[in-house]
Copies of this chain bind each other. A is one copy, B any other.
Amino acid sequence: MTSVYIVDDHELIIEGITSFLQKEKNITMAGYATTALACINFFKCNIADVILMDINLPDMNGMDLCKIIKTNYPGINVIALSTLNQGSYITQIIENGASGYLLKNADKKEILEAIATVQKGKTFFSFEAGKIYTATKEKRTGLPVLSKREKEILKLIAEGLTNIEISKQLFISIDTVDTHRKNLYTKLKVNNTAQLIRSGIENNYLE
């Protein structure tokens, strides 16, 4: 018998999961929460075997909540839930102690499989998530490290400033700005402004 707790700010998702998990005879619902805080409070005086946890909560991100839960209750297995467009968080939440990763478009079978797998102490990735994981892993691990100054200049370029304007703003020579720009091109393997901005945005160097 496995007791399952759900944290998700979408009532519909909770309703959906609850509705079909209740039909399973070896699973009980421990409860649910729509906020991280409510979840934390619940576990102060209750327990569960598995938490299905949305990584996108209104009051806290799932990464942090997962860390808190795993620190205080290492016996609970956390399965992260996310939508397709949040694939890049997989690595982070796994590092924070999650045992599984499910996309919200997972079908019922997959969810049961995930619960069963993490209860055996193993890790479960939904098929789609696995693809994203390996796809983004290479992207991420190969990501060059930009120096403070380089990031700063990249941001200013992205804002549309020219080398001259940047040089004035940072009180450095135009040539220096140019050098940084060249180094950015080399590091990010691009060769003009357009590609630089794209790479900057796609790899989250901006903001």
Which of A40-48, A68-76, A100-108 has 4 or more CB atoms under 8 Å from chain B? A100-108
Distance in angstroms between the alpha carbons of A201 and B195 in the assembled complex: 12
Interface size on A, residues (CB 8 A): 36
- Give the docked Cα–Cα distance between A92 and B10 (Å): 24
Contacts of A105 in B (CB 8 A): 9-12
Assess the B192–A194 pair: CB atoms within 8 A.
no
Interface presence of A15 (CB below 8 A): yes
Contact A10 B104 (CB under 8 A): yes
Chain A positions 14 through 58: 1 when the CB is less than 8 Å from some CB of chain B, otherwise 0: 111111100000000000000000000000000000000000000
For residue A179, CB closer than 8 A to chain B, the reply is no
A9, A10, A201, most chain B CB atoms within 10 A: A10
Judged by a CB distance under 8 angstroms, whether A140 is at the interface is no
A108 to chain B, nearest CB (A): 6
CB distance from A191 to the nearest CB of B (A): 7
- Residue from B104, B107, B108, B158 within 8 A of A198 (CB atoms): B158
Which parts of A174-207 form the interface with B (CB within 8 Å)? Answer: 190-198, 201
Chain B residues contacting A158 (CB-CB under 8 Å) are 194, 198
- Name which of A106, A160, A190 has the most chain B CB atoms within 10 A of its CB: A160
Q: Does A162 contact B (CB under 8 A)?
A: yes
A39 to nearest B CB, angstroms? 16
Determine the distance from Cα of A83 to Cα of B9 in the docked complex, in whole angstroms.
11
| A contacts, CB < 8 Å to B | 9-20, 83, 85, 104-108, 111, 157-162, 190-198, 201
